[in-house]
Structure 1
């Protein structure tokens, strides 16, 4: 595709949790829990008018779903602020300072005063129906090989509650995440190529990783805004995989291009959408379709000129009918049936013909039917009608959920400015020149800079240095190295690879803090354990809670004396006398393997090699 000709524009939003001790507006810890809730809160949320009397369209659609929201709450991990039963406490100053550091690293213009705003959100993720947020900085610039990208704004806000599950008419959230400080970094729509998106996300990630932010799954979320010249702005939520970003862009562009083609064909056919909903249950009394047979109501709508277009593929494996079904599903139904896929699913050709005749369909006309509870069916078909009418005019502005295969699914309409209003419970905070001066004088080292420095300073390979930085273990490496005489490569490889393997095997490596690791390396430095024994010792520390010394003793991994090692090697050589006589020094490899297996990590490999070599040479 010719992205320049198509007028591709993109903007990236990066949401990153900050690693502060307290939440943004209360003293609760910023830790998640999987404990059983100590009490639950039930809420129903509804949209409110902005100061100009307008209602946000996304909030209005959520309210139509009439959902009950249940919140898991705790006596210690949450408080009355998260329950929206107490006013917010003063802003977390530590979180503000971290966000100022990030803004400075991105060369942004910091505001003189920080004002907290309320952003209306009634999908249940906030008990009060709004999220608190405030502008920290504007107008940053990132250089990329595809051109400069402008960073519009950096905001400090509170994270939402965790969605735990959903059942009929109810959504369950957990309040432990609600209120954790979060920075939102938003670029201008100045990204023009799919590969450029990945580059921008990487650069922003590098800046964030150099500061006090949380690490791990769920601590960073990325959303992507995409539009083409004749299309519309679409927000893709949850674009997590950097390697998948370019594919998501390509698939969204294909979707919009195909929707524009469908629009043109519909206009060529003078297509239209009728408003009437038709009760067709009497036509399907004897149906073999299990879905329709057990439904309370079955209604259909007539789409003039839509036949053959509903089944057109607009993204890999997804059709225009999937788009329409996405709108229906938001009203609580499981899906819909349309002309281009019938007869199927137990609906016979005779039943299809009966419906066509009842609705008075022409050769180019189509119908869509939905079977479920009457109120759900009516709401769902009205949403399908609304979406079908939009298809006659334009690509709709939407918020869509990014899918693992690089496609996307409809979530809700794109929010409007009508959802923002002032938070009156929190005073403005002045950002002084002195504070900014202190921050600028003590900025953290960026990851790429750190990688280059530790390669040079500690004579590490590029791969080891890269892994240390990527896994956020470069600082630990330098602290341990400063206090240990163990060679840099052994320390680095243990931190970069051994800990990764232990975690993969189910070990809780969070127990292995710097002091424990240093103690293990001191055993190695003093010749009490071998390098090969380190993984087993660290695994035992994780599982049993022993100290490295206790782990080495309990596993019988304390090093043997040189005399004891020499005796074991002599026994192995003696018992393999025939091999030695036949091969001479060629027996070195097999004997080395036998020796290391016998010693079980209780001797250094270099010492074993030396003693074995000396023994064989003396025999010759």
Structure 2
């Protein structure tokens, strides 16, 4: 946002902020949505074969082509797909899709119940045109499954407009010289999309609503966890601004910053519009200015002009000083121009608000201005590249500059890691959707569907019924090993010990570099069984888990025996305590029970985790008292 708006918290009611969320969450199912392939993620290096495609937009049933698809297709690219030993013909778009996965249907109906939504009578699959290569078919299959729900926030009710069940896109692996490389392991994973009504009126409420929906989704226990398994899109507008879709917010913690920055960006663009109106601004036709840079010392421009390269420039009448105006932190109007230009294969743009720079001299700037007839109130934007790329890029810059005269353009933007956004494409329209004829409709109803316990309710139950403190109860309820914890408690394991082991101990081991992910739930439960049988102490659990994680070929019992983690007998424990006390006899005589803490640690170390702390403590106090 502009300097005068930086770090400013607006009166969002006065600003007329309106926002809505689209939450995309991968479901945890055995099979993909339209085929029987597994939903496990794979590493690109596991790929067994690959193939390439070129994708093109098609007309809808009304004979229209979606504007977003048209712009995407204007960039000539080849798409390469990494396939695996599990990849089937459906994923390669060489066989029609199968029926919708039953497990996915059951899960979305549970989610609909949690969101107070009404399912549709029949779910009809539609095709949504997508030509960015993220789907081998050139479209994404999606079915509306429910509508008319609501959630509560501290700032009021937020309506849930609709929920769709759709197939996840392929995972983007890398940019290539020819286009983009994707991996097909992610393609087809069932994905639920939840769209709210535009009832959100502040950044804080946007974050709270997203957290609430996220909690409800995780309450099912049937959604995937981890980076990339949930994405938030946010639609934002302000009075006199425009609806802008912000795509791909990965973290809930970023949502309020994203909304705040977008509101500030639109405020700054409206300020620029006002100044441009006062200056009677306009945009000229682009011109070839290559001759200005004959023999230039600028490595960037000189390298671009070598061979058949050209420099194309456009006069921006009345834009002087505004192209460099900050719209978001470290992003300016010129950055927006560059985002559009980069879509056509150029590395960026040059403009007179930042020149001379990059080896461009003052004389060259003057000559550039003269070449396009720019006055002192005008700015000039320029690109240097091969002729086709340069012409397309400078035309895109000119179009974006004209849009700045009108104010805030409707568009789709991508979320950056720093809470800012970048231009992606125009907003899609209705022309991108048409019916999928290969998949039959599915009847939906709530019969037999049970509403799961909410995570917030589970936290309270863990506190009241199992005696966990608030922090540990929340950690377990929201954690990935919740079902493991409950299974351990059912086996009679002390709840606090079970919770601390599956969450705190596992986290500490992971931070220490122990591959704790090698210990699955079955092996965790076998460890708890050894503890319950008195074969290992609670003190020895971390060492036993580490041994199992690092030696997955060993059973828990074998690992305990190899590491010497079996429980010590009463006589062995007392002998170890007496030995420590006698070795520190002078300290005991001098300090009495004041020596307890230091000697306790020494005793536990001598026993190597083979005795419970309470037992060692009692014996140590007894031996100290004898000698004090």
Q: TM-score range by the shorter chain?
A: over 0.9
Find the counterpart in structure 2 of residue 282 from structure 1: 291
Give 3-state SS (helix, strand or coil) of 1:500's partner: helix
Match of residue 41, structure 2, among 29, 32, 35: 32
Find the counterpart in structure 1 of residue 356 from structure 2: 343
Per-residue deviation at 1:256? Answer: 0.4
In the alignment, the residues of structure 2 paired with residue 239 and residue 163 of structure 1 have an alpha-carbon distance, to the nearest angstrom, of 16
Q: 1:170 to 1:136 in 2, by over 3 A?
A: same
* Contact preservation (8 Å) 2:299, 2:359: yes
* Contact preservation (8 Å) 2:279, 2:318: yes
In the alignment, the residues of structure 1 paired with residue 514 and residue 247 of structure 2 have an alpha-carbon distance, to the nearest angstrom, of 33
1:388-432 Cα offsets, whole Å, 9 max, x none, are 11111131111111112111111111111110001111121222x
- TM-score, L = length of structure 2: 0.95
Would you say 1:478 and 2:486 are equivalent positions?
Answer: yes
Per-residue deviation at 1:88? Answer: 0.8
* Contact preservation (8 Å) 1:272, 1:303: yes
Find the counterpart in structure 1 of residue 263 from structure 2: 253
1:80-127 Cα offsets, whole Å, 9 max, x none, are 111111111111121112111111111111100110000000010011
Find the counterpart in structure 2 of residue 197 from structure 1: 206
Give 3-state SS (helix, strand or coil) of 1:300's partner: strand
Find the counterpart in structure 1 of residue 341 from structure 2: 328
> For residues 293-442 of structure 1, what are the structure 2 equivalents within 5 Å?
293-295=302-304, 296-431=309-444, 435-439=445-449, 442=450
Per-residue deviation at 1:368? Answer: 0.7
In the alignment, the residues of structure 2 paired with residue 312 and residue 185 of structure 1 have an alpha-carbon distance, to the nearest angstrom, of 36
Find the counterpart in structure 2 of residue 547 from structure 1: 555
* Contact preservation (8 Å) 2:21, 2:234: yes
Find the counterpart in structure 2 of residue 181 from structure 1: 190
Would you say 1:116 and 2:125 are equivalent positions?
Answer: yes
Find the counterpart in structure 1 of residue 570 from structure 2: 562
Q: 1:581 to 1:503 in 2, by over 3 A?
A: closer
Find the counterpart in structure 2 of residue 579 from structure 1: 587
Q: 1:224 to 1:458 in 2, by over 3 A?
A: same
Would you say 1:217 and 2:224 are equivalent positions?
Answer: no
Would you say 1:458 and 2:466 are equivalent positions?
Answer: yes
* Contact preservation (8 Å) 1:331, 1:379: yes
- TM-score, L = length of structure 1: 0.97
Per-residue deviation at 1:437? Answer: 2.2
> For residues 495-534 of structure 1, what are the structure 2 equivalents within 5 Å?
495-534=502-541
Give 3-state SS (helix, strand or coil) of 1:91's partner: coil
1:423-454 Cα offsets, whole Å, 9 max, x none, are 111121222xxx41211xx2211111111112
Give 3-state SS (helix, strand or coil) of 1:341's partner: coil
Give 3-state SS (helix, strand or coil) of 1:438's partner: coil
Give 3-state SS (helix, strand or coil) of 1:165's partner: strand
* Contact preservation (8 Å) 1:325, 1:335: yes
Find the counterpart in structure 2 of residue 490 from structure 1: 497
> For residues 68-87 of structure 1, what are the structure 2 equivalents within 5 Å?
68-74=78-84, 76-87=85-96
1:228-259 Cα offsets, whole Å, 9 max, x none, are 11111111111122222111111111100110
Would you say 1:168 and 2:177 are equivalent positions?
Answer: yes
Per-residue deviation at 1:138? Answer: 0.7
Instruction: List structure 1 segments (4+ residues) > 4 angstroms apart after TM superposition.
Output: none
Per-residue deviation at 1:584? Answer: 2.0
* Contact preservation (8 Å) 2:336, 2:423: yes
In the alignment, the residues of structure 2 paired with residue 18 and residue 189 of structure 1 have an alpha-carbon distance, to the nearest angstrom, of 25
In the alignment, the residues of structure 1 paired with residue 592 and residue 366 of structure 2 have an alpha-carbon distance, to the nearest angstrom, of 90
In the alignment, the residues of structure 1 paired with residue 395 and residue 187 of structure 2 have an alpha-carbon distance, to the nearest angstrom, of 34
Would you say 1:151 and 2:160 are equivalent positions?
Answer: yes
Unpaired runs of 5+ in structure 1? none
In the alignment, the residues of structure 2 paired with residue 515 and residue 85 of structure 1 have an alpha-carbon distance, to the nearest angstrom, of 39
Find the counterpart in structure 1 of residue 3 from structure 2: none
Give 3-state SS (helix, strand or coil) of 2:157's partner: strand
> For residues 35-46 of structure 1, what are the structure 2 equivalents within 5 Å?
35-46=45-56
In the alignment, the residues of structure 1 paired with residue 534 and residue 399 of structure 2 have an alpha-carbon distance, to the nearest angstrom, of 76
Per-residue deviation at 1:5? Answer: 1.5
* Contact preservation (8 Å) 1:31, 1:77: no
Would you say 1:262 and 2:269 are equivalent positions?
Answer: no
Match of residue 135, structure 2, among 102, 126, 141: 126
Q: Which 10-residue stretch deviates more, 504-513 or 19-28?
A: 504-513
Give 3-state SS (helix, strand or coil) of 1:409's partner: strand
Per-residue deviation at 1:595? Answer: 1.5
* Contact preservation (8 Å) 1:480, 1:514: no
Aligned length: 612
* Contact preservation (8 Å) 1:69, 1:124: yes
1:124-143 Cα offsets, whole Å, 9 max, x none, are 00111100001000110111
Would you say 1:601 and 2:598 are equivalent positions?
Answer: no
In the alignment, the residues of structure 2 paired with residue 483 and residue 343 of structure 1 have an alpha-carbon distance, to the nearest angstrom, of 74
Per-residue deviation at 1:548? Answer: 1.9
Over the aligned positions, Cα root-mean-square deviation in angstroms equals 1.3
Unpaired runs of 5+ in structure 2? 1-9
* Contact preservation (8 Å) 2:228, 2:250: no
In the alignment, the residues of structure 2 paired with residue 43 and residue 515 of structure 1 have an alpha-carbon distance, to the nearest angstrom, of 43
* Contact preservation (8 Å) 2:227, 2:250: no
1:534-553 Cα offsets, whole Å, 9 max, x none, are 11101111110222221121
In the alignment, the residues of structure 2 paired with residue 138 and residue 591 of structure 1 have an alpha-carbon distance, to the nearest angstrom, of 65
Give 3-state SS (helix, strand or coil) of 2:448's partner: helix
Would you say 1:63 and 2:73 are equivalent positions?
Answer: yes
1:437-477 Cα offsets, whole Å, 9 max, x none, are 211xx221111111111211111111111000111333322
In the alignment, the residues of structure 2 paired with residue 85 and residue 526 of structure 1 have an alpha-carbon distance, to the nearest angstrom, of 56
Find the counterpart in structure 2 of residue 235 from structure 1: 245
